[in-house]
């Protein structure tokens, strides 16, 4: 037992405690009630968050004491159990904010999708570790797709788009393991084409007095780029590899060309005042709606801007605070607004830096593993944290759609805190046993 605690990564554990404690004090600040001044009051969100932190620590110690082989053998059971919970929550779950994603018990609630992130991370790691040298076979890719898409489809039924986007982060893990080749690059290219096509959807260019829709110009540009890439392949690639690369260039170009009119057609099929369409238009700068769908984003930016460089001080927020309620969900999805308003740009930058250090630390732990299972699991955790962090910060800064995704360890929520804590303690457990792992 002593050896286990001696070998755990103290830096990662320290970052975990630092972020959780900062989160608790921020929740206390934003939801402070003079009728319940004690930070341990279970009648308020900060008291419940401390309770969940205590539960998380107890479960974390238990995980550190468990045998690594026992954990690995239990992975398929855990995956099956969380999948069953995702089915049950659709049948008997509690609906909140339009999503049937919770099991409610009094004032408490458990969200199965949060724990599905852990089970999928473990299952993907176990499958890749057991597959070993057959990673590039079509059968392997099909099974990995099944492992990922079963929870994704069930979560889409709730619906919970934010969690689905987190699961798509596993693409980064598969890319690191060399399973999906350059598909990540192709996917990013198609995303860029999609965004540009939406930005140009109502643009008309004049060519020698002849009106031409900007989409035709974009398609011509894509064809020109494809020709240049093809010529580059001929110059830089051996002849026996050229055919396969030419086929990839053609397929990606065709997909991009088809995507241009499809994005315009599909976007126009959405009713003009539908909140999803309006949110996309606001993010792309095509529309302003500070009092309607864009209210959350507008208020969040106002709170962040009001903090200036050094902020207003602890418990002095006037926008991102329960007392004034100018920023919706300020203790959950928009908790970064409270940090920025109370501690200014400097405080926001420090918090940003702490998260970057945490993610880089997890990646460094992943790279030093001697076990494929450990490495893949660590990269899965890094991807989940990165997606949560990037989308949440992007959301409050108006750079990403508002889809309801928590900031790890900071946002109020028992399921979220417990699931992220389990990820960290499992990683600490596997890393402490790495010298005994050779598979």
At 97-151, the pLDDT tens digits run 667 777 776 556 788 888 999 999 999 999 988 876 566 677 777 888 889 889 9
**H/E element, 111:** none
Let me know: does 224 contact 249? Beta carbons within 8 Å.
no
Could you tell me the CA-to-CA distances from 399 to 177, 218, 221, 312, 435 in Å, in that order?
A: 30, 24, 26, 25, 42
From residue 81, alpha-carbon distances to 6, 168, 311, 362, 381 in Å are 32, 21, 46, 27, 20
Average pLDDT along the chain: 81
Residue 89 β-bridge partners = none
pTM for the structure as a whole? 0.81
Q: What are 275-312's pLDDT values in tens digits?
A: 556 666 666 666 665 555 556 666 777 778 887 888 88
Does 156 have pLDDT greater than 90?
Answer: no
Calculate Rg over the CA atoms of the chain: 24
The CA-based angle 77-179-166, given to 5 degrees, is: 60
At which residue do the structure tokens 């904010």 appear? 97
From residue 244, alpha-carbon distances to 181, 258, 388 in Å are: 13, 21, 36
- 61 Cβ contact list (under 8 Å, min separation 6): 425
Question: What letter would DSSP give residue 436?
Answer: G
Q: List Cα–Cα distances, 52 to 22, 24, 40, 409, 419, in angstroms.
A: 15, 11, 11, 11, 10
Domain extents in the chain: 2-6+15-181+287-436, 186-269
The alpha carbon torsion through 62, 52, 377, 99 (nearest 10 deg) reads: 140
- pLDDT the model gives residue 201: 73
Best mean pLDDT range from 306-315, 393-402, 409-418: 409-418
pLDDT of residue 362 exceeding 90, the answer is yes
**What span, in angstroms and rounded, lies between the C-alpha atoms of 44 and 264?**
47
């Amino acid at each position: 037992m002593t050896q286990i605690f001696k070998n755990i990564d103290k830096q990662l554990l320290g970052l975990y405690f630092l972020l959780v404690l900062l989160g608790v004090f921020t929740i206390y600040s934003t939801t402070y009630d003079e009728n319940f001044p004690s930070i341990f009051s279970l009648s308020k969100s900060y008291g419940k968050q401390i309770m969940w932190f205590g539960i998380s620590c107890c479960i974390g110690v238990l995980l550190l004491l468990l045998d690594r082989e026992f954990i690995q053998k239990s992975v398929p059971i855990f995956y099956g159990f969380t999948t069953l919970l995702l089915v049950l929550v659709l049948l008997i779950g509690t609906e909140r904010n339009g999503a049937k994603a919770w099991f409610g018990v009094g004032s408490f609630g458990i969200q199965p999708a949060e724990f599905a992130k852990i089970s999928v991370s473990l299952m993907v790691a176990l499958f890749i570790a057991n597959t070993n040298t057959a990673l590039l076979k079509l059968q392997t890719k099909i099974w990995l797709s099944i492992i990922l898409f079963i929870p994704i489809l069930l979560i889409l039924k709730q619906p919970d788009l934010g969690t689905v986007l987190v699961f798509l982060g596993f693409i980064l893990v598969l890319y690191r393991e060399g399973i999906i080749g350059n598909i990540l690059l192709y996917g990013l290219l198609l995303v860029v084409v999609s965004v540009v096509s939406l930005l140009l959807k109502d643009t008309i260019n004049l060519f020698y007095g002849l009106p031409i829709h900007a989409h035709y110009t974009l398609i011509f540009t894509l064809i020109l780029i494809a020709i240049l890439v093809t010529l580059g392949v001929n110059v830089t690639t051996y002849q026996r590899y050229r055919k396969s690369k030419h086929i990839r260039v053609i397929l990606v170009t065709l997909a991009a060309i088809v995507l241009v009119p499809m994005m315009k057609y599909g976007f126009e099929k959405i009713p003009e005042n539908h909140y999803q369409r309006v949110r996309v238009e606001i993010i792309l700068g095509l529309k302003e709606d500070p009092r309607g769908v864009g209210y959350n984003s507008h208020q969040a930016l106002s709170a962040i801007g009001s903090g200036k460089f050094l902020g207003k001080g602890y418990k002095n927020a006037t926008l991102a605070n329960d007392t004034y309620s100018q920023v919706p969900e300020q203790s959950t999805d928009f908790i970064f607004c409270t940090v920025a308003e109370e501690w200014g740009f400097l405080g926001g930058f420090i918090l940003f830096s702490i998260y970057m250090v945490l993610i880089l630390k997890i990646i460094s732990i992943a790279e030093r593993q001697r076990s494929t299972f450990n490495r893949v699991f660590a990269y899965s955790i890094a991807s989940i944290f990165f997606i949560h962090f990037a989308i949440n910060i992007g959301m409050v800064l108006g750079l990403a759609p508002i889809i309801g995704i928590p900031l790890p360890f900071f946002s109020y929520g028992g399921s979220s805190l417990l699931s992220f804590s389990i990820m960290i303690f499992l990683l600490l457990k596997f890393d402490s046993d790495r010298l005994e792992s050779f598979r």
